[in-house]
């Protein structure tokens, strides 16, 4: 059975939702960052990167959200989260998810993880001050050029949807009004109404 290591309010929510949408059997174990559990010897044996998510499979451990989402989609092809068999369409999804991972998430991380890039307090403060404008620029591009609607890729729900939902939920905390992006904002509302999303959020909050 699959086992997901996650932490609330992180990008691991996307993989958690995808697993629930898949209908497959899985376990989920929370890693408490406030207790530095991500740095514990036990967890580092699972994921030496000391981050979440990590997905334990019968063939080994997968890390990084785009890879985990792609694996879930391919493992459960007949589910709502299954990925298309067409190579180009799958690559389009991967392109979107890669942008979320490499650009949007990194823009967000400069607010809480500035010490990854600098030691100077003034430099960290300057990076923090740029987060709202950088996140706004990212979501302007998603809203105007990348979001097909009604779901990310168009008419069909995909592994890109829980990922966008997860990162869009960070906007208020980054000082950005999500109402500036009507399509993304409506997408977030509709995602929150999906049974799988409700179930995962309820389990995290329990």
Asked whether residue 137 carries a pLDDT value surpassing 80, the answer given is yes
Asked whether residue 206 carries a pLDDT value surpassing 80, the answer given is no
Asked whether residue 130 carries a pLDDT value surpassing 80, the answer given is yes
pLDDT score of 128:
85
pLDDT score of 123:
83
Q: Where are the domains of the chain?
A: 2-81+197-205, 87-194
Instruction: Output the six-digit token pair for 189.
Output: 């509302």
- Domain 2-81+197-205: CATH class, spelled out: alpha beta
Question: What's the predicted TM-score (pTM) here?
Answer: 0.96
The CATH architecture annotation of domain 87-194 reads Up-down Bundle (1.20)
Phi/psi of residue 55, nearest 5 degrees: -120, 120
Residue 147, classed as helix, strand or coil, is: coil
Average pLDDT over residues 85-92: 97
Arithmetic mean of pLDDT over the chain: 96
């Amino acid at each position: 059975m699959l086992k997901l290591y996650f932490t609330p309010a992180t990008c691991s929510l996307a993989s958690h939702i995808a697993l629930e949408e898949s209908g497959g059997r899985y376990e989920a174990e929370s890693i408490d960052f406030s207790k530095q559990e991500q740095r514990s010897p036990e967890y580092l044996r699972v994921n030496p990167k000391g981050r979440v998510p990590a997905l334990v499979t019968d063939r080994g451990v997968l890390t990084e959200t785009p890879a985990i989402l792609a694996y879930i989609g391919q493992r459960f092809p007949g589910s709502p989260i299954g990925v298309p068999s067409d190579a180009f369409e799958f690559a389009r999804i991967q392109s979107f998810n890669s942008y979320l991972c490499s650009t949007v998430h990194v823009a967000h991380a400069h607010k809480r993880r500035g010490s990854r890039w600098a030691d100077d307090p003034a430099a960290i403060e300057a990076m923090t001050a740029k987060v709202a404008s950088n996140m706004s620029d990212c979501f302007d591009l998603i809203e105007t050029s990348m979001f097909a609607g009604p779901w990310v890729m168009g008419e069909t729900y995909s592994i890109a949807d829980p990922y966008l939902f997860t990162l869009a939920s960070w906007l208020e905390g980054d000082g950005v009004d999500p109402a500036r992006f009507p399509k993304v904002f409506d997408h977030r509302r509709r995602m929150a109404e999906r049974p799988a999303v409700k179930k995962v959020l309820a389990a995290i909050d329990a």
